[in-house]
């Protein structure tokens, strides 16, 4: 648990890596998953803010079938996640990506929204550049977070992926060694530094717009306009959007979230919960 809190606070404190309640971390021990509580901040999270869940119950979820319709599927899925909490944890709400954390066989999982990574995942040539720069990392196309995302990543985990890039979202690293997570992150950031410097095209470097957010965080913390909310969290999150926009100029220019995904995120109960925590 000490390791988990330590690397959560370390990476959570860097606004280049994650802002406000974004990102999440976890650890597995003796059949229990400890995952970040929804909306808590990695920068300041304490041991008691992680939620303990029964791994055996969580691993039953992928075997179940859920309704196709968004609201009923998400409600049923959330109920199963909440029913997996260990006794005494009933007042806590685990991260929206809890199942994804459970599915990695590795002991520790680090999920961040680094600006440099999202310069790639929110760019027009993101996928081809990701495959060129990080041939061993899995690439997941933009999809609904929560259940659908977990099921897509599950296929890649089953193929052995320990690094997963999520279009218009961020990156997951998994390892049994918490020190190795930092090495994985730093080696990715170093490669991105080179690619950002060598691929930069000033004609593609244009500011982002609130109505075309890059990631779910930007919807949750900045809203969809016309004005930026007058909060510190909104300003921090918007600064990240501006930085991402700049980096996308090295990868073919901006590719914001699709209208369909913007619509889903702005109505998703799980993200409304996270917004209220901010």
- Chain residues binding Zn ion by CB under 5 A are 170
Taking the complex as a whole, how short is the minimal distance between the CB of residue 197 and Zn ion, in angstroms? 26
Comparing CB distances to Zn ion, the nearer of 170 and 223 is: 170
| Cβ closest to Zn ion, residue 54 vs residue 162 | 162
Q: Provide, rounded to whole angstroms, the least separation between the CB of residue 245 and Zn ion.
A: 19
3-state secondary structure 108-139: EEEEECCHHHHHHHCECCHHHHHHHHCCCCEE
Q: ∠ at Cα 207 (227, 123), nearest 5°? A: 115
* Minimum distance from residue 86 beta carbon to Zn ion (Å): 24
Least distance to Zn ion from the beta carbon of 65, Å?
Answer: 25
Of 12 and 170, nearer to Zn ion (C-beta) is: 170
Q: Could you give the 3-state DSSP secondary structure of residue 200?
A: coil
Q: Which is nearer to Zn ion, 34 or 172 (CB)?
A: 172
Nearer to Zn ion, 42 or 234 (CB): 42
Q: Concatenated DSSP letters for 217-261? A: HHHHHH-SSSS--SSHHHHHHHHHHHHHHHHHTTTTSB----HHH
Nearer to Zn ion, 170 or 213 (CB): 170
> What is the distance of C-alpha 130 from the center of its chain?
17
Encoded tokens for 114:
């680094």
Please say whether the beta carbons of 216 and 200 come within 8 A. no
Q: Whose CB is nearest to Zn ion?
A: 170
Question: Measured from the CB of residue 216, what is the shortest distance to Zn ion in angstroms?
Answer: 7
Residue of 156, 159, 41, 32 lying closest to 98 (CA atoms):
32
Q: How far is the CB of 12 from Zn ion (least distance, A)?
A: 12
Give dist(CA 189, CA 115) in Å, integer: 10
Q: Which residue has the tokens 């440099």?
A: 116
CB atoms < 10 A from the CB of 160, how many?
Answer: 9
């Amino acid at each position: 648990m000490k390791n988990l809190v330590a690397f959560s606070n370390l990476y959570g404190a860097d606004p280049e890596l994650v802002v406000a309640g974004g990102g999440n971390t976890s650890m597995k021990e003796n059949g229990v998953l400890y995952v970040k509580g929804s909306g808590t901040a990695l920068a300041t999270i304490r041991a008691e803010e992680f939620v303990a869940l029964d791994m055996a119950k969580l691993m039953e979820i992928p075997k179940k079938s859920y309704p196709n319709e968004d609201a009923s599927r998400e409600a049923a899925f959330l109920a199963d996640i909440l029913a997996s909490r260990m006794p005494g944890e009933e007042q806590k709400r685990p991260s929206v990506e809890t199942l994804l954390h459970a599915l990695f066989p590795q002991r520790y999982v680090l999920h961040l929204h680094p600006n440099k990574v999202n310069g790639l995942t929110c760019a027009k040539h993101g996928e081809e550049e990701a495959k060129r720069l990080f041939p061993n990392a899995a690439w997941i196309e933009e999809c609904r977070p929560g259940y659908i995302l977990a099921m897509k990543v599950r296929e890649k985990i089953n193929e052995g992926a320990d690094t997963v890039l999520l279009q218009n979202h961020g990156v997951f690293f998994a390892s049994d060694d918490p020190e190795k997570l930092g090495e994985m992150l730093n080696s990715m950031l170093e490669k991105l530094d080179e690619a950002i410097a060598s691929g930069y095209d000033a004609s593609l470097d244009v500011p982002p717009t609130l109505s075309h957010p890059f990631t779910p965080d930007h919807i949750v913390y900045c809203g969809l306009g016309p004005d930026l909310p007058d909060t510190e969290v909104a300003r921090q999150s918007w600064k990240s959007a501006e930085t991402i926009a700049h980096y996308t100029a090295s990868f073919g220019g901006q590719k914001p979230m699709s209208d369909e995904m913007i619509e889903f995120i702005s109505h998703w109960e799980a993200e409304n919960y996270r917004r209220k925590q901010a």
